[in-house]
Amino acid sequence: MTTPFCTVRDLLRYAVSRFNQAQLAFGHGSANAYDEAAYLILHTLHLPLDTLDPFLDARLLDQEVDTVLKVIERRATDHVPAAYITQEAWMHGLRFYVDERVIVPRSFIGELLADGLQPYVADPDEVGAVLELCAGSGCLAIIAAHAFPNADVDAVDISTDALEVARINVADYALEDRIALFEGDLFAPLPERRYEVIIANPPYVNSDSMQALPAEYRHEPQLALAGGEDGMDIVRRIVKDARNWLTDDGVLVVEIGNERANVEAAFGGLDLVWMSTSGGDDTVFLIQASDLPAV
């Protein structure tokens, strides 16, 4: 089949136009139509994801053009997140398998783990136990295993489907001996123990915001997004019980997206530390065990 597209440059220009025309929403790894188009084209052609320029004027086979066009059209027509098309997501240099059973990984906690949560964790090498709640694809548990090299990591999710994806990622990083996956509701399935660090990127989207989500986000499991009327249903339960699972000098780190106002309304009496991330100072809070309510 003869097409008007001959090169990567042709397809890139077309994809950007098509994505803008379709008014796509971004935020699942790319921030704009150009970056998303470049990623999808390079991935589909099995080219290095960080090397576009040398291939821009490479002439493509008709079959290659047809394959790329189908990917572009699926993204534009169905508003499917790119990560579901490629079945991969990247966070902080690490690649994770993803599909429609989990939300696309995109947590600011990952960048906070890069330095082992210092100064709130005195010595990352001394951390022996880490817990991730609402683990989804297991990406934060894996990043935590790298950040705290001597720690065992427990990861919990209520979704059987999500844990199947997490098992794939844990196996890909050969961390089965350090990361234990538990199916259940927050702390319920865990054996009795104490953790120096608990991290959570729970469902936190409030009900009004859920109604206004772009189509891309509606492809994701709603169980992993919806946080009740004010977005705090799951966060309240985590904060309420975390003290019983932390060591005396432990820390709880929770991501809450755009819900800072609702967090402060719900937990205004607690000493919350708002962490600086690339997303601003309003997306992640930390609270030390000694400042959590005792149960």
Domain with residue 251: its CATH number is: 3.40.50.150
> Residue 66 belongs to a domain with what CATH number?
1.10.8
pLDDT at site 275: 94
pLDDT at site 27: 86
* In a shared domain, residues 20 and 147: no
* In a shared domain, residues 72 and 111: no
* In a shared domain, residues 67 and 108: no
* In a shared domain, residues 113 and 160: yes
* In a shared domain, residues 216 and 113: yes
**Parent domain of 16:** 8-86
- Burial pattern 14-35, b for ≥16 Cβ within 10 A else e, equals bbbebbeebebebebbbeebee
In a domain, 176, yes or no: yes
Among 62, 86, 110, identify where a domain stops: 86
Tens of pLDDT along the chain (295 residues) come to: 457 889 999 999 999 999 999 999 998 888 999 999 999 999 999 999 999 999 999 999 999 999 999 999 999 999 999 999 999 999 888 999 999 999 999 899 999 999 899 999 999 999 999 999 999 999 999 999 999 999 999 999 999 999 999 999 999 999 999 999 999 999 999 999 999 999 999 998 999 999 999 999 999 999 998 889 999 999 999 999 999 999 999 999 999 988 999 999 998 889 899 999 988 889 999 999 999 987 6
Query: Per this entry, what is the length of the chain?
Result: 295
pLDDT at site 92: 86
Do the strands 195-200 and 246-255 form a parallel or antiparallel pair, or are they unpaired? parallel
Say whether 29 sits in a helix, a strand or coil.
coil
How many CA atoms lie within 13 Å of 124's alpha carbon, on the beta-carbon side? 15
In a domain, 167, yes or no: yes
* In a shared domain, residues 213 and 270: yes
In a domain, 272, yes or no: yes
Distance CA 232, CA 4 (A): 51
In a domain, 283, yes or no: yes
* In a shared domain, residues 47 and 163: no
Among 57, 86, 115, identify where a domain stops: 86
In a domain, 39, yes or no: yes
* In a shared domain, residues 185 and 224: yes
- Give how many domains the chain has, as a whole number: 2
* In a shared domain, residues 241 and 189: yes
In a domain, 96, yes or no: no
Three-class HEC string of 60-124:
CCHHHHHHHHHHHHHHHHHCCCHHHHHCCEEECCEEECCCCCCCCCCCCHHHHHHHCCCCCCCCH
In a domain, 97, yes or no: no
* In a shared domain, residues 77 and 218: no
* In a shared domain, residues 125 and 262: yes
* In a shared domain, residues 123 and 185: yes
pLDDT at site 130: 98
Among 54, 86, 118, identify where a domain stops: 86
pLDDT at site 2: 58
In a domain, 212, yes or no: yes
